Amino acid sequence: MVSVRMRLGRPSWRAWRDWRRGRPFTAGVLLLASGVAILVPPYASLRFGDLVFAVNTMGGVSALVLGGLLLVCAAAVWARPRYRALAGVAATLAALVALVTANLGGFLVGTLLGLAGGALAVAWTDAPRPARRPRRTALR
């Protein structure tokens, strides 16, 4: 079996770093967390002995649709970075709609994560950073 190190000719952590830097990774993580935060509350129940707390609302269907859309947007910004602007705008709109329709957007956590992830996806660029000027030391 050929390892990743042998196949790529460099250590696997460098390959991971190169992959992560070549796409809006942080935006994808925030969108993934947002989708989970919106999906979980309508379907989760908390049990304390014989006492069951459940959030069963009509927002369950909209939470399923909007949370699924946010998960798809997270996958889109990772798999196809060139479509990051479309996915970022769609994620931002889904997070805003979830605020009204899906249990305050996962009790505000999902909406805030979705807005931040959408903004990062739209703002990300793959252009290289300009070179830094060397620091001046006090001895010069």
The reported pLDDT for the residue numbered 33 is 97
Over the stretch 42-75, which tens digit does the pLDDT of each residue have? 877 777 878 877 666 677 888 989 999 999 999 9
Over the stretch 68-117, which tens digit does the pLDDT of each residue have? 999 999 999 999 999 999 999 999 999 999 999 988 888 899 999 999 99
Number of H helices, E strands in the chain: 7, 2
CA angle 42, 43, 48 (to 5 degrees): 105
pTM listed for this prediction: 0.79
**Considering only 23-27, 36-40, 44-48, 102-106, which range has the smallest mean pLDDT?**
44-48
Q: What Å distances lie between residue 8 and 2, 25, 61, 83, CA to CA?
A: 10, 21, 44, 26
| Phi, psi dihedrals of residue 121, rounded to the nearest 5° | -65, -40
Can you tell me the mean pLDDT for 127-133?
79
Residues 6+ apart with CB under 8 A from 76: 83, 84, 86, 87
